[in-house]
Amino acid sequence: MDQPIKILVVEDDPNVSMVLTARLESLGYEVCGTAVSGLAAISGVFRHHPDLVTMDILLQGDMTGIDAANKIAERSDVPIIFMTCLADQQIFESAVKTNPYGYIIKPYDTNELRSTIEIAVIKHRAAKEREALIAQLQKALQEVKTLSGLLPICASCKRIRNDDAGCWQQIEEYIATHSNADFTHGICPECAQRLYPELYKKKG
């Protein structure tokens, strides 16, 4: 069974916070903590590691919810949904600059609250999966490019100089170290005839 989504509620009004907590829990979410100030919100994110934060804009203290969201974004990618009674366009534009996952104007509808949270969580998970895929592709590209460029190889014994280790390595060892290739050994007809001439004379 999937774990419930953990939510940190940041709200300076204790009555509003209590009602929001009750609504979230009735929808099946887990309220892992509450905060009334920007500093408490920042601390709560790194103490509780929530899956999502609901952030009021007007908070106790000098720090606004927008300021707190910016500080949180410096060290965490947790999705943040702003919940505010402020409909001012300038405040909205300042909030948008923090790249929130939602913006709800109070009073809000329970269905609106649930849909905004679900969409935010889905978008965040998709972004994480995309980042992981990009990292895998970049790693694969680096491995493909590992053996590109000039390789210092001995004209006599055909060993390759490993500049990282400062030594000369057998070509099989060097390629195995710098790629995902593996080896199986055999012997070509020309070398077999040179190394085992008696055997080839008998066959002739």
Q: What does the pLDDT read at residue 201?
A: 66
What predicted TM-score, i.e. pTM, was given to this entire model? 0.67
Q: What does the pLDDT read at residue 2?
A: 76
Q: What does the pLDDT read at residue 6?
A: 97
Beta-carbon count within 10 A of 39 CB: 17
Separation between Cα atoms, residue 10 and residue 78, nearest integer Å: 14
Q: What is the pLDDT along the chain (204 residues), one digit of tens a residue?
A: 578 999 999 999 999 999 999 999 999 999 999 999 999 999 999 999 999 999 999 999 999 999 999 999 999 999 999 999 887 889 899 999 999 999 999 988 999 999 999 999 999 999 888 888 888 877 767 665 555 666 788 877 878 887 777 788 887 777 777 776 777 777 788 887 877 777 766 655
- Kindly report, as residue ranges, where domains of CATH 3.40.50.2300 are found in the chain: 6-138
Separation between Cα atoms, residue 78 and residue 198, nearest integer Å: 74
Cis before 100 (ω within 30): no
Query: 6-138 adopts what CATH topology?
Result: Rossmann fold (3.40.50)
Q: Do the strands 167-169 and 160-162 form a parallel or antiparallel pair, or are they unpaired?
A: antiparallel
Q: What does the pLDDT read at residue 149?
A: 64
Burial label for 68, CB within 10 Å (0-12, 13-18, 19+), is buried
Closest Cα to residue 35, out of 24, 47, 23, 25? 47
Q: What does the pLDDT read at residue 204?
A: 55
